[in-house]
Structure 1
C-alpha cells in the first residue's frame, strides 16, 4: 500500500507514540518487524505516520512491546478510528499553511487549553477587525484576499472551540492589552469583547501585570493543548519562523511548569477583568 504523502498531525503523533513504545521495549525497527511478521519498511512508514495501522495491529504492537499503559492504547485506538473523519480545517489544506491547520486540529482533539500571549490578544478571543489588523501587518504584506481568508479561518476556529465547550485558561500580559497597533475604536471593541468572553463558563482570563514578580520564560506566545491523557498533550509556540510544536515528555513537563508559574503570578479573574475594563476606559477617554 502506498504511503500517505501528507499525514495529519494526529497521524504523525500516533506514529511517534508507537516508536516510543518500541524503543521503551528495547526493540529495533527490524526486531519489531520480525516479531510482527512484517517488514522494516512498513514499521518505519507507520512510525512516520505515512502508513495506516488498524486497531488490531495497534494491540499487536502494544502486546509485542509489553506496553501495559491501557489508557494510552485506548487513546491511540481512538486516533485510528477517527482518522477518516476529516475536520473542517481540511477545506483549507493547500490554501493556508499547515501551521494554521495543525492548531485547529490540536484544538479539536484537546480536552482543555491553556494559552499565554505577551504581544496580542489570544486568537480565540480576537474580534474580526482586530484579527484583520494583525494579518494586514505581516511582512511581506499579504494580498487583501489572503488577509480575509485568514480572518475567516480564525473566526471558524473560535466557533469550533466554543462548540466543544473546552475549558480555557488564558494568561495575557498587560503589554498585549495596551499595544496600539490598531485604531482606538478597534482596540476598545476588542477589549470589551475580551471582557464578555472572560465571563463565559469554563473560561478563565487572567492578566500578568507589568510589575509581576515572576515572568515565566519563554516570553513568546504559546499554547498548551491537554489531550485525553497526559502522554498525548501538545504545546505550540509562536516564533518568527512560524509555529513550533512540542510533544516530547521533557518539553511538555517544562510547559506545565511554566503554566503553574503563570497561575501563581497572574491577577485573579475578577481583578483581571477590572484591569481590562480600566484600560478600555483609558483608551476611550484619550480618543473621545
Structure 2
C-alpha cells in the first residue's frame, strides 16, 4: 500500500515527534494547522485510527497533532497529505509554511499571563493576516480607536474591571493597531452609522474619535466605508466580526464577537457565508471618499452643537 510505504520511510520523524513534549497552550496557528489536518483526514473518509494504521503511528499521536498539541515536520505533513489523497498543493505548501515558522514569538506573548487568551489570539490572527476586513455596528473598530475612546469602552465593561486592567487592555489595543498602520496589511473597516453616534466617555472623546477616523481614512492601506441608516441591501442583523485573509482562501478565518463571547470560524461553509456578507456590504456601503465626507459632516454637526 503506497500510503503505508511512505509512512515507513518517515518513521525517524515519527519517533522524534512522539518524543516531543506536548504543548500546554498551542497557538492559534498551531491549532489551525491541526484543524486542517483533521479536515484533510475527514475528507478522505478516514477515522483517526484508520489514518494511524496507514501511517504506522499510535492513534493518540493523530489526536495530539490535530489538536495542535504536538508539532510535525514538513515531511510528515506531506506523508499525511499523500495518505489522505490530498492533491491541493497550494494548501499543502501554505501549511508547510506554518510548520517552518515554528519558534517565532509574537509581540503579544509578552502579555501572556496578564491578558486572556482571546486578546492574544486576535493579535496573532491580525498579525498573520494578508488582509483584514471588519464590521462593527455599535463601536468604532478596535484597530481605529483612539486611546481615550478605547479606555472609555473598557471602563464601561460590566461587571467593572480594575483600572490596572483597563490600562493594560488599552495599551494592548493601541499596539495591535501597528499591524494596519504600518501599511503592510490592507485593512477595510465597514462601520455602521450607529457606531459613529454612540457616546463613550462624552462628547470630546467622540469628537476626537471622529477626527481620528477622518485622518485614518487618508492613510495608505486603510479603507473606511460607512453603512448609513438609510442604506438598502444590508444583510440581516449580524454581530461585529473580523475577516482575516489567509495566505490562500482555504486558510481564511472569521472571528465573530458577541456579548456572550468570541467564536472563530474556519469551516469553508462558514467562511463562505461571511465572504458573501462582505460582498453585500461592499455594494451597500458608501464609497470611501463619500464615507470620509459623511464622517466629516457628523464632526461638523458636533462642533456646531457643542463647541
* Smaller-chain TM-score bracket: over 0.9
Q: Is the CA contact (8 Å cut-off) linking 1:232 and 1:247 kept in structure 2? A: yes
State yes or no: 1:13 paired with 2:32.
yes
Q: Is the CA contact (8 Å cut-off) linking 2:130 and 2:246 kept in structure 1? A: yes
1:284 maps to 303
2:61 maps to 42
Distance in 2, matches of 1:98 and 1:241, equals 16
Tell which has more relative contact order, 1 or 2 (C-alpha 8 A, sep 6+): 1
State yes or no: 1:95 paired with 2:114.
yes
Aligned residues: 288
Distance in 2, matches of 1:170 and 1:99, equals 21
- 1:1-288 equivalence runs, <5 A: 1-163=20-182, 165-288=184-307
TM-score, normalised by the number of residues in structure 1: 0.97
Q: Is the CA contact (8 Å cut-off) linking 1:114 and 1:223 kept in structure 2? A: yes
TM-fit CA distance, 1:64: 1.1
TM-score, normalised by the number of residues in structure 2: 0.91
Q: Is the CA contact (8 Å cut-off) linking 2:22 and 2:70 kept in structure 1? A: yes
TM-fit CA distance, 1:163: 2.8
Which blocks of at least 5 consecutive residues in structure 1 are unaligned? none
Distance in 1, matches of 2:153 and 2:159, equals 13
TM-fit CA distance, 1:13: 0.6
Moved over 3 A (4+): none
Q: Is the CA contact (8 Å cut-off) linking 2:246 and 2:253 kept in structure 1? A: yes
Over the aligned positions, Cα root-mean-square deviation in angstroms equals 1.1
SS in 2 for 1:228: coil
Distance in 2, matches of 1:161 and 1:38, equals 43
Q: Is the CA contact (8 Å cut-off) linking 1:99 and 1:242 kept in structure 2? A: no
Distance in 2, matches of 1:213 and 1:219, equals 15
